[in-house]
Structure 1
């Protein structure tokens, strides 16, 4: 900070040195002022030393306020204004007032933005709930005529529409996931089985088989949100599975003792240059462009929600050889420790 301060004071320093040079020049040219050379040198050294001491004193005084402000880096924005140092006089007071005004303006704008987002989320949630009523009625009608081939196709389309609306409801709830969080202990296969049943109509339409095997281990998580994560991964597997293909689901523990779910499909696979981006928002890749229904949101939402639940997602794939996505749950002690921190 000292070098920038010196640079900002260069005009003043140059003015001081020019005045000192002018005084020396006048003493030298005026024969009526008999001054010894040693006395002149002593006079100049004394004034230069005074200049150095003055600069050091002013640096410490003028930058103290700035140093105290810089110490607030990393503090929560809500506490930042209250932690500003008090400077009742001088330019520091003007600077503090400007900072406080900026902080107040920012808080007002943030509050207005949060209010707009809350209204939009409430509107979306209300719209989704309204849409679910006719969807339920449609489901009852479809179930009454399940034996007709056309109705089986309509059931699959109804399911895709239901999944999209349900996902939109979860998206609207995502900002408030902390207040909607209920930790529970459940068997891992009890999280998967309902999702497989819900996707049965779609699997039947595509003639896709689902095999579930492995150890039924207990996991500690929020059941509703954990099922949402599994639903996104499983929906992705059904979407990209070829007709007559098989989705294999394995449950158990990994080498480090974490419960996990591995969902493998026989789809077209993911090129190596796309694999590391599949959890990015909106990324569809070459395979997603072939399937026009791809939105690039499913795996992104699964990864985002999973991170908030302490879950991890990873994918392994080769082009032309299918894709395997693993959902790793935290151990029970890790989950409880994470909840205590939050």
Structure 2
């Protein structure tokens, strides 16, 4: 701030220095004017001018220092009161712009909330005919048509479910309930949801849940597993998907291993980024790049660590590491 103050007042400083040098120059060329008294006067003048600058620095920069330290909120109470007419103009303009942006932000938030409510209402309304479709499909005789209709129904169901949780995930802190959760019912429920798809592709599951419980939220854990299992089924052919659990140094883990096409090593650092789809199959228009992103976001809110391993052609492994009791208390502030 000192150098900025000097740059701001540089023209005035140069003017004073120039006047003092002009006075000395006149005394040197005009012998009628004694030089030493003039030098003494110049010295005292420059000394007083230096003291003046020091005093003015504190007064003139107080307002701008508080403005530089101002956070990104709309509260201007932390800004020092203006000490000059120009500072008053600056503060008035900032206040006017702040009020304008506050009103615009409020309008945008209200509109987004309205759109979110409309979308949530639409999703819930769509679920009714979707349930009716499922009942009609179940009445059909077994065959290729029924299998295809079940698969397409499941795709719509998963897309709607993902969209619904995407809307809710911003408020997951208000929706989660952490408790000792039985893993087997949650895993079985999600596998059953994918049954029609698995039958169509000839995919089975090998379950070995050594550890039965984990500290988590059952509903959001189901959502995370839904994304991981649907990806495993989507990118696998006829094979078994292995789901097992265990404990490592007192920490519970749940692992999902598939033997599908795997993930390219160059894609691994980006698989949890929003909207990222595989560079190896970039022409896959069915991929949205949202499943793993939402799973990671929900896992972070539950203090679950997700680790991924994969080799092209050898499948992928996703491991969920659940928090221990003390870890969850420290990370969530409970």
TM-score, with normalisation over the residues of structure 2? 0.92
The residue number in structure 1 matching 2:130 is 135
Q: 2:78 aligns with which of 57, 78, 83?
A: 83
Match of residue 303 from structure 2: 310
Distance between the aligned counterparts of 1:106 and 1:232, measured in 2? 38
Separation of aligned partners in 2, 1:217 and 1:100: 58
Separation in structure 2 between the aligned mates of residue 46 and residue 235 of structure 1, nearest angstrom:
84
Say which is worse superposed, 98-107 or 322-331, in terms of deviation.
98-107
1:153-192 aligned within 5 A: 153-192=148-187
Q: Distance in 1 between matches of 2:135 and 2:204?
A: 25
- Whether the 8 Å CA contact 2:63–2:79 is kept in 1: the answer is no
2:292 equivalent to 1:294: no
Aligned to 1:283: 276
Residue 11 (structure 1) shift: 0.9
Matches within 5 A, 1:34-183: 35=34, 37-73=35-71, 77=73, 80-87=75-82, 89-145=84-140, 147-183=142-178
Q: 1:247 is matched with which residue?
A: 241
Equivalent residues of 2:63, 2:83 under 8 A apart: no
Which digits, 9 at most, give the CA deviation of each residue in 1:198-232, with x for residues without a partner?
11111011000111113233222222122111111
Q: Secondary structure at the match of 1:179?
A: helix
Q: Which deviates the most, 292-301 or 142-151?
A: 142-151
> What is aligned with 1:13?
13
SS in 2 for 1:261: strand
* In 2: Cα distance, 1:189 partner to 1:288 partner: 33
CA 1:289–1:25: 2 relative to 1, 3 Å = closer
User: What is the RMSD computed on CA atoms of the aligned residues?
Assistant: 2.0
Q: How far apart, CA to CA, are the structure 1 residues paired with 2:309 and 2:121?
A: 38
1:217 aligns with 2:212: yes
> Once the two structures are superposed, what CA deviation does each residue of 1:276-301 show, in whole Å capped at 9, x if it has no partner?
11111111123442544211111011
Listed one character per residue, the Cα deviations across residues 119-139 of structure 1 (whole Å, up to 9, x for unaligned) are: 111111111111111110111
What is the CA-CA distance between 1:116 and the residue it aligns to? 1.8
Task: Give the corresponding residue for 2:24.
Answer: 24
CA contact (8 A) 1:267 1:320 kept: yes
* 3-state SS in 2 of match to 1:268: coil
In 1, Cα distance between the equivalents of 2:314 and 2:143? Answer: 35
Partners of 1:10 and 1:100 in 2: CA distance: 29
Deviations 1:36-86 (A, max 9, x none): x3323222221121221111111111111222333444xx725x3232233
Aligned to 1:199: 194
State the shift of 1:9 in Å: 1.4
Note if contact 2:211-2:247 (Cα within 8 Å) is conserved in structure 1. Answer: no
TM-score (norm 1): 0.90
In the TM superposition, what is the alpha-carbon distance from 1:31 to its structure 2 partner? 4.2
Q: Distance in 2 between the 1:117 and 1:190 partners?
A: 36
Q: 1:89 Cα shift?
A: 4.9
Contact 2:308 2:319 survives alignment (8 Å)? yes
The count of corresponding residues between Structure 1 and Structure 2 is 334
8 Å CA contact 2:206–2:243 kept in 1: the answer is: yes
